[in-house]
Amino acid sequence: QQPLPPAAAAAAAARSSSPAPGAAAASGGPATNVVDGDDCPQALAEAAAREGIKGVRIGDRNYVGKSAAAVAGMQQRERDLADKTAQALQEKRQRDQAASDKASAYAAAAARHGARLTAWAEDHGKKRALRALLASLHTVLWPGARWRAVGLGDLLQPAAVRRAYLRSMMVVHEDKVVDLPPEHQYIANRACEGLTEAYKIFTEAELS
């Protein structure tokens, strides 16, 4: 492919570094990561090789010499791109709002349930034993939680303790509560943390 004449190369370089409409106002400076779609293939290839290229700006000059069908197709693609951009922005706003709402709900749940969950998991700063946590788990879970209470008499044998622990994970593990309200998720996460830490101590003492 023949190189561009110096004048044409300079013009292409100037266009590739010129801001898109509204870009300078939005960013506070010239846009250097967009090139014109009507530049020749060599100029586009050179621009794409430079770091920071984000896309191609399509302007009215692209329509010159093209059929009505081609122009209509280009305009439709531009509208589709604008629609997809607007949809992506709306979805991001919804995700951000959902994350903010969940964080607020978690904070409210911590204020409401944090102290009693700490008292359930610890005794004056000392971690409670796994048997005690399992036997009292029903006292800290939310109403309607799918947990059948067990007593200390049901947890005499290590094998029974292990079975009860595994059954508790079916209730409080994070994978099991993803569809529950944030308040219930908070309770489940705190309960899961306490049970998991106690289970590690239990396995070292009685199952190793």
pLDDT by residue (tens digit) across 126-180?
999 999 999 999 999 999 999 999 999 999 999 999 999 999 999 999 999 999 9
Number of domains comprising the chain:
1
pLDDT value at residue 42: 55
Which whole number is the average pLDDT over 192-197? 97
pLDDT by residue (tens digit) across 9-51?
444 554 554 444 444 434 444 444 444 444 455 555 565 555 4
Report yes or no on whether pTM surpasses 0.85: no
Q: Is there a domain that residue 26 lies in? A: no
C-alpha distances (whole Å) from 63 to each of 9, 11, 40, 70, 189 are 22, 19, 14, 8, 59
Which whole number is the average pLDDT over 176-204? 96
What is the largest distance, in Å, between two alpha-carbon atoms of the chain? 92
- Asked if the model's pLDDT at residue 190 lies above 50, the reply is yes
Q: Is there a domain that residue 36 lies in? A: no
pLDDT value at residue 43: 56
pLDDT by residue (tens digit) across 91-132?
999 999 999 999 999 999 999 999 999 999 999 889 999 999
pLDDT value at residue 61: 54
Q: Is there a domain that residue 140 lies in? A: yes
pLDDT value at residue 204: 93
* Of 53 and 127, more confident: 127
How many angstroms separate the CA atoms of 18 and 207, rounded? Answer: 70
Which whole number is the average pLDDT over 82-93? 93
Reported as a pLDDT band with limits 50, 70 and 90, residue 75 is confident
Domain of 105, CATH number, reads: 1.10.287.110
pLDDT value at residue 39: 45
How many angstroms separate the CA atoms of 31 and 16, rounded? Answer: 9
Tally DSSP H helices, then E strands, for the chain.
Answer: 7, 4
Q: Is there a domain that residue 11 lies in? A: no
Domain range holding 165? Answer: 96-207
Task: For residue 167, count CB atoms less than 10 angstroms from its CB and return exposed for 0-12, middle for 13-18, buried for 19 or more.
Answer: middle
How many angstroms separate the CA atoms of 208 and 205, rounded? Answer: 7
Q: Is there a domain that residue 175 lies in? A: yes
